[in-house]
Amino acid sequence: MQQTVFACNECDYLIQIEDIPSGHVASCPRCHHHILHRKVNSINRTVAISASGLLLFLPATFYPLMSMKILSLESSASLFSGMIALWQSELFLVASLVFIFCIFTPFIKLMAAFIICLGLKLNYQKDSWYKQLLLFYHKVDSWEMLEVFMVGILVSIFKLNGMADLSLNIGLLCFAALMLCVIALKVTLDKPLIWDKIDNG
């Protein structure tokens, strides 16, 4: 039976924890702080969420988020076209940050999570690339800022609503769903479980 020694983050008490079932929590016997939480059906749920996010990525990036009509003039903007407009306005730093945190990093994070969980299901956890990919995922886990961009969109809608006729497009719905998929990875992916699988084959 698998046993691992953990240190409690609250009182530094060392405790040996056997492999606990999915959905259960291991607590410190001294201060009752939660030490380890096995997430329910982590691998299958993460595969489903990351695959959904990858399917949503293209429409969320390239489909119009909203359309604006003032008198007889009508225009629409997508995440990608907004980034291009920033670049053409010589706001190179802002355009680069939008690309890195709202396009590149979410895609890489979704793809990495999908490969990590699918590789575990196919027993690739002992391959040399697998551990490196998991370490890479850990580094980029907090790099995306889709929720910040969504707040910017909502503020824009609020400010422009009285100045022009706004219509929300399918791209905004896909972007919101993509944001939820990326956030959900933090809830579903059980990284301690994957490290245990790597250590114990």
Same domain, 33 and 69: no
Half-sphere exposure of residue 140: CA atoms within 13 angstroms, side-chain side: 20
Confidence of residue 1 (pLDDT cuts 50, 70, 90): very low
Query: Which pTM was predicted?
Result: 0.77
Same domain, 53 and 28: no
Same domain, 134 and 94: yes
Half-sphere exposure of residue 12: CA atoms within 13 angstroms, side-chain side: 0
Whether pLDDT at 119 is above 50: yes
| 167-178 pLDDT tens trace | 778 988 999 999
Which uninterrupted H or E stretch holds 200?
helix 191-200
Whether pLDDT at 3 is above 60: no
pLDDT score at 164: 63
Tell me the residue range of the domain where 31 lies: 1-38
Same domain, 63 and 121: yes
Same domain, 14 and 93: no
pLDDT score at 195: 82
Same domain, 78 and 28: no
Tokens 């959900």 sit on residue: 184
Do the beta carbons of residue 146 and residue 175 sit within 8 Å? Answer: yes
Same domain, 32 and 61: no
Same domain, 114 and 158: yes
Do the beta carbons of residue 6 and residue 29 sit within 8 Å? Answer: no
Length of the chain (residues): 201
pLDDT average, residue stretch 118-138: 89
| 15-70 pLDDT tens trace | 676 666 666 666 677 777 776 667 778 899 999 999 999 999 999 999 988 877 77
Same domain, 71 and 134: yes
Same domain, 102 and 176: yes
Same domain, 154 and 135: yes
Count of structural domains, the chain: 2
Same domain, 161 and 93: yes
Whether pLDDT at 133 is above 50: yes
Round the average pLDDT of the chain to a whole number and report it: 81
pLDDT score at 86: 84
What's the N-to-C CA distance of the chain in angstroms?
13
